[in-house]
Structure 1
């Protein structure tokens, strides 16, 4: 599969902005494109023919991009479709649900052409790995045990799919840091992938507890977070995380980081 094979659904109320996006897609060789001005019509179309990628604006005539991706994630037949937001919106209450829902990228208006291409390539690799999982040699991952900790069910589902696409079969999920720590007392893991902002015990507190313990203090920990505050991010790093990656997630970057954390003895 190549970029040219992607089926992309574009939701953008502005004729001019929609034209810019469609022209950028066509410049990359993508011609299988459906265009919509409203979210409801786009969701109906997705139910009839499943796209590889939904590319949406934030503010639509009938709903927001947040509502579009939320409805997608709540429907089994649409839940695995990759979602990319292109918007000038910066407000936390609009963007945070999209980050948590597993968007593959959030690009500003006007968007950088290189960032656009990278997001599409990441989408392609995500889809190819998912479709070809039975044909690829994933033996290096077959004994890998991963603890996935996130309070968002949408985020856990997306992260679980990423890990599965990579070839990881043994994934145990926890809804917050407290549950994660309880599981660590019962089982041994090779990698922890965790959110930061969680109830009860947050990601930073969980990391501090693990690093201070006598049982698995050196286990690699990847923190996945939408946190923007620089002092908070510095505190997370100081707590002893092995890698820090921002939401929305780049599939390619996460795959590379996992390979380095688990298999690179220099890290």
Structure 2
């Protein structure tokens, strides 16, 4: 099967700053991207996407008519645009502004100032998102693994499922929050749980605590994929019994490594 290359990507860039738009466009050209539409606001970007859906949207956080958060959530609500890869470029560091974008399934968030190398890494993550690479799990039989995937973001679950399937995992059960996840653990046997942290009703830390203390599978490995950056909260998740933690967005090979580590130890 043909795997898309960087020079085949079609990209829409939404950046109101003339200086920043020139930087992004120059870096993209240097990296081999040839199909680039440079736009200044969210409304024109959505209109262009509906005419010709791109492979990737790169946006600033603060636009003249909406935020990058508004833009990506609008995309996720339209079936034609829902699966388009999204990268945010922003100097914003506040968790409450960035988390909704991470939860919407952004493939990367690039902090300003950024280099061409930073953009190249994000574009590689985009290629992995569009066409998940073949990833072989070492010394495991992925087709026999029973995996529970818990996340309140449909897009995040979809991306994680695609990566797992690229590894050869076939038996994947999904849950929309920790409460649904706890129900699945009570009702079914699993080899592994992959969960988000911040979810309604029951979060990932509470789910891990339930598994360790109130389930029939107390040794069940739990990997947490999260945009949470508060070290105290992450430490509490580890204390609750999370086996391994990695950030969102995640690299497919990072998830592969964590799967191999926690399943070897199980």
Q: CA deviation at 1:154?
A: 3.9
1:165 and 1:75 map into 2 onto residues whose CA distance is: 26
Q: CA deviation at 1:12?
A: 0.6
Evaluate the alpha carbon distance shift between residue 157 and residue 214 of structure 1 in structure 2; reply closer, same or farther with a 3 A threshold. closer
Give the root-mean-square deviation of aligned CA atoms: 2.4
1:80 and 1:255 map into 2 onto residues whose CA distance is: 23
Structure 2 partner of 1:126: 129
Evaluate the alpha carbon distance shift between residue 51 and residue 93 of structure 1 in structure 2; reply closer, same or farther with a 3 A threshold. same
TM-score, L = length of structure 2: 0.87
Structure 1: runs of 5+ lacking an equivalent = none
2:141 and 2:5 map into 1 onto residues whose CA distance is: 26
Equivalent residue runs for 1:98-247 within 5 Å: 98-129=101-132, 140-213=141-214, 215-247=216-248
1:118 and 1:254 map into 2 onto residues whose CA distance is: 17
Superposed CA offset, 1:58-101 (max 9, x none): 11111110011001111111111111000112233321210100
Q: CA deviation at 1:167?
A: 4.0
Superposed CA offset, 1:119-163 (max 9, x none): 111211222228xx8xx9999533332211123344334433443
TM-score, L = length of structure 1: 0.87
Between 166-175 and 225-234, the greater mean CA deviation after superposition = 166-175
Q: CA deviation at 1:232?
A: 1.0
Superposed CA offset, 1:154-187 (max 9, x none): 4334433443444433221222222211111211
Evaluate the alpha carbon distance shift between residue 186 and residue 198 of structure 1 in structure 2; reply closer, same or farther with a 3 A threshold. same
Equivalences, count: 261
Instruction: Please state if 1:58 is matched with 2:61.
Output: yes
Evaluate the alpha carbon distance shift between residue 77 and residue 252 of structure 1 in structure 2; reply closer, same or farther with a 3 A threshold. farther
CA contact (8 A) 1:125 1:252 kept: no
Evaluate the alpha carbon distance shift between residue 225 and residue 15 of structure 1 in structure 2; reply closer, same or farther with a 3 A threshold. same
- 1:38 alignment partner, one of 41, 44, 48: 41
2:48 and 2:257 map into 1 onto residues whose CA distance is: 34
